[in-house]
Amino acid sequence: MNNNSKVLALKYRPQTFDDLIGQEVVAETITNSIKADKIPNAYLFTGIRGIGKTTTARIVAKALNCLNGIDNLCKKNFCENCKSISESSHIDILEMDAASKTGVDDVRDLIEFSRYGPTSAKYKIFIIDEVHMLSKQAFNALLKTLEEPPEYLKFIFATTEIKKIPITVVSRCQRFDLSRIKSSELFEYIKKIKDKENGKISDDALKLIVKISEGSVRDSLSLLDRALLSLDTGKELDLNSVQKIFGYFDKSQLIDLFELILKGEEKKVISIYRKIYDQGVEPKVFINDFLEILYYFKNINSLTLESTNFSLNDEEFSKIKNLSNQIDSEVLVLFWQFTISSLEEIDIVSNQHLSIEMFLIRLMYLSSVKFENKIENSSVDFKNENLKKNTENELISKTINQIKNVEQEEKIKPEVQTEIKAEYKININSFEDLIKICAKEKEIKLKYELEKNVNLVKFEKNRIEISFNESLDKDFVKDLSSKLFEWTGGRWIITFSKLMGQMSVKDKQKNVKKQLIDEVKNSEIYKSIMDRFPDAELIDVNSNKDGVDND
């Protein structure tokens, strides 16, 4: 095949250790082991797709069998062995795809073939790609040969799923974890190849290719190949053109969209999204990019421009940094959680485009959305819907220009704007006080939930932090918040915690009763009764705290 007709991933496939990028430590370690004549029975290369596992395996095969020796490995003018290995035609180097040959019979044929020494090379080498696809029986058949192979036989395994390989096999190999290629290194690499191919592509367009490839050299070359094929003669491929080719859009649009969401500009938000959609961006791609922007807003102060892997340019990075200082972290965490749940909902709706529009609208009204069964991994400040008017000043100070303005809030739920006035004020200073007032006010359901299904973590003035079991009523927070306001005349914050908290009241009572029963069972009176009535059973004990004899 003419070299120019090959795809870029094959045309520029590394042929020597010097050609490899991002795997210098692996190359140096293998070279040193060969020079020291401490060659393992088997090599195991693992890592994501397209970072050079099979390529490295072939280069190792060349290093072991080069006619010029390890100190003078072929680099340009290949010897006969190196040339035939590069072309996958060497009689002593057998490459096997475990994805298509998974059975024990295939491995038995391999072992049978291994009994014969190499024909022209120093070592007979078996390269098995996607080795995790072998069956359990095939791995077992390979074990003995793998542990004590003939001196002339070496195995080289490659896999993307290291956890699927039996530990008995992994322990018999020298394992190398090939890392993702750094964005800056991959950018320089494909830029050189672009120049060799006389392609006119802007640096920003190349950076987008690097981002999409996620550290995979093969993916980046395949994308570059596609970009070059779409290039008109004499024109440079810019970022906008590449975004259209690969279905990506300008991140600055998403940042503007996010800013408008926080301001509650519904019409503008929908307008920008529709422009993004018209560019051919799939709803799932949009959601994932939205999550990425959320991550940057939350963590921008701990990031550098370089650590964003070309996802942001200088202007976008600065804009996010300025905006993030005006947004509460709690809002961003809630947005993240809500976006994740919306990602799951997309598959249910037939028209995903409409689902995204509703998702964006719901984000703007987030504070009035009920998050039920979505709060296990975060601490949420639950605001009672019935208290909006009374606590308007406090809400405005915290969320103005972030979620929605006061006008929007009044439009959301006009029926709940009636003020609730506290008829009298009660001081509640502890969890025990709260349970007592529930009993006094005949709020039996609330009392039951507090005693049975709630574990107290912390009780402070106008703030209760709890954990709970799965039996907790879904309206518990709403009901309790309403009653607390009615009783005390103040707004209470109820948060859910990941901490276990104290034992529930009912469990404490059970423990006390158990201790009393255990104490009685150890008493002489109990023992004497049991001697007389062996079939008797102690069911309950009443504590006589006042020391009065109740006989």
pLDDT tens-digit series, residues 364-416: 877 334 333 333 333 334 334 333 344 444 443 444 344 434 334 444 344 33
DSSP structural state of residue 501:
-
Q: Which helix H or strand E contains 145, and what residues bound it?
A: helix 136-147
Q: Which residues of 369-381 are buried (b: 16+ CB within 10 A; e: fewer)?
A: eeeeeebeebebe
Q: Which residues of 155-193 are buried (b: 16+ CB within 10 A; e: fewer)?
A: bbbbbbebeebeeebbebbeebebebbebeebbebbbeb
pLDDT number for residue 309: 61
pLDDT tens-digit series, residues 117-152: 898 899 999 999 999 999 999 999 999 889 889 999
3-class SS letters over 247-283 = CCCCHHHHHHHHHHHHHCCHHHHHHHHHHHHHCCCCH
Cα separation values, 291 from 101, 138, 167, Å = 40, 43, 37
Q: Which of 303, 299, 369, 358 is nearest to 334 (CA)?
A: 369
The domains of the chain, with CATH numbers, are 3-177 (3.40.50.300), 183-246 (1.10.8.60), 251-364 (1.20.272.10)
Cβ-based neighbour number of residue 141 at 10 Å: 20
Cα separation values, 451 from 58, 456, 508, 539, Å = 68, 10, 10, 23
* pLDDT lower than 70: segments of the chain: 1-5, 233, 249-250, 305-311, 313, 367-424, 542-551
Looking only at the bridges linking them, the beta strands covering 454-460 and 174-177 are unpaired
Residue 279 is encoded by which pair of tokens? 């560019």
3-class secondary structure, 454: strand
pLDDT tens-digit series, residues 370-384: 333 333 333 334 334
Residue type present at position 298: K
What is the signed CA dihedral for 128, 130, 135, 140, rounded to 10 degrees? 40
pLDDT number for residue 128: 93
